[in-house]
Amino acid sequence: MIVLKLNISRIASIPAAFVGATIRIFLDLALDGGTIHNGAWIAALLSALPSIPYLLCLDAVQSDKRMAIPLRFMLLSVTALDAAHVLSICVRAAGCLTLDYVPAHFLALPLALAVLWCVWRNGDAVGYAAILWIRVFPVLLLLVVTLQMRHYNARWLLPLLGNGFPDIIRSGVRASGWFIPATAIYYVTDRSGDKSGRRPLSAWLSFAPAVAALLLILRLMMAPAGLYGLTWEARLDALLTNGRAPLYLQLPMMLVFFFSAFHLLTCECFAASALLQRLAPALDGRLCAAVVTVACTGLSLSGFTVTAVDFIAPWLYVAVAATAALSSLLQGAPKGGERPCNG
């Protein structure tokens, strides 16, 4: 049996990471980050600032060095945890929209099997699906915006600072933390034979928060921010089945939401599987994918991620970015006993 090596080309990893980061930042600020406020779109823009030095550190880290092991382990941990949380978001959303009660494990199992099948197709399949989604998503979004145009109210964006600038900063730091697992697929890029490998193309990923900010502005113009901010279910209802929007718009909104969340889930599960294989190269990629998928499904169904995500969110960016910076610095330092050649 041929061993499956999990990898993704650079041309496919950047679109996959871009779409994943956009979706993750939007989900955090629109659903998970507590009561949505008018400054959420500003927080999304602020989250782009810390992402640039982090991406530059990833570009500097050479994946075949031993100094990358701590970074790989940390990325594996946070990416698998966030994948489990994204799976729980999909399951909770599906449960809210079903007419009858359906046990969570019945909703999670088909998603887990679909993710496993996608990861087994390897990274380029995930990345090129993101390229297709980049072409389809604007069409669906334009359809929704056009049909909802008369329902938008720009006055609901006021006051611009929402709950105040300190809350915007806290939300921006939290969002920049979730940028990390959403773009972990970029770290496992196969750069062999890639002539563009030395160019910092990852800078394009820093535009993902701007797209998330645009989506948040559209969301905020549909209903007053504080009206649907009490519970997670209420925020989901305001996003997907807003009572001010025509009933026929619910289907496009649900398609956009679930397809986007599924892409994010697939990206994070693939990245976690590839990171696991890089930590244990003897393992087959299919086995790594199965281990990650089972672990994420178990964490999701246990309810552990709901509390864990809120606990690590304020510290996630600092911890992972510091590890990436230290790894890049140590890899750039000369080893003991080696001297540069002067001849």
Does residue 195 sit within a domain?
no
Nearest to 109 by CA among 127, 130, 82, 87: 87
Structural domain of residue 302, as residue ranges? 8-189+201-330
- Alpha carbon separation from 13 to 21, 54, 189, 205 (Å, rounded): 12, 17, 6, 10
Chain position carrying tokens 């729980």: 88
Strands 8-9 and 189-190: parallel
- Alpha carbon separation from 199 to 55, 59, 110, 143 (Å, rounded): 12, 9, 39, 36
Q: What distance in Å separates the CA atoms of residue 94 and residue 48, rounded to the nearest whole number?
A: 30
* Res 340: pLDDT: 43
Per-residue b/e over 276-307, b at no fewer than 16 CB within 10 Å? bbbeeeebebbbbbbbbbebbbebbbeeebee
Question: Is the alpha carbon torsion for 73, 50, 213, 133 positive or negative?
Answer: negative
149 secondary structure, DSSP code: G
Structure tokens belonging to residue 138:
């604007």
Does residue 125 sit within a domain?
yes
Q: What distance in Å separates the CA atoms of residue 39 and residue 47, rounded to the nearest whole number?
A: 13
Q: How many CB atoms lie within 10 A of CB 14?
A: 23
Does residue 184 sit within a domain?
yes
Does residue 52 sit within a domain?
yes
Task: Say if CB 58 and CB 21 are below 8 A apart.
Answer: no
How many CA atoms lie within 13 Å of 170's alpha carbon, on the beta-carbon side?
Answer: 14
Does residue 116 sit within a domain?
yes
Does residue 342 sit within a domain?
no
Chain position carrying tokens 């989901």: 236
Q: CATH number of the domain that 217 lies in?
A: 1.20.1740.10
Q: What's the total number of domains in the chain? A: 1
pTM, to two decimals: 0.90
Does residue 80 sit within a domain?
yes
Does residue 313 sit within a domain?
yes
Chunked in runs of 10, what are the mean pLDDT values of the chain (343 residues)? Answer: 86 93 94 80 92 82 65 93 96 87 91 96 94 90 86 86 86 92 91 56 82 92 69 84 75 87 96 95 95 96 86 88 83 50 40
* Res 284: pLDDT: 95
Structure tokens belonging to residue 14:
């950047």
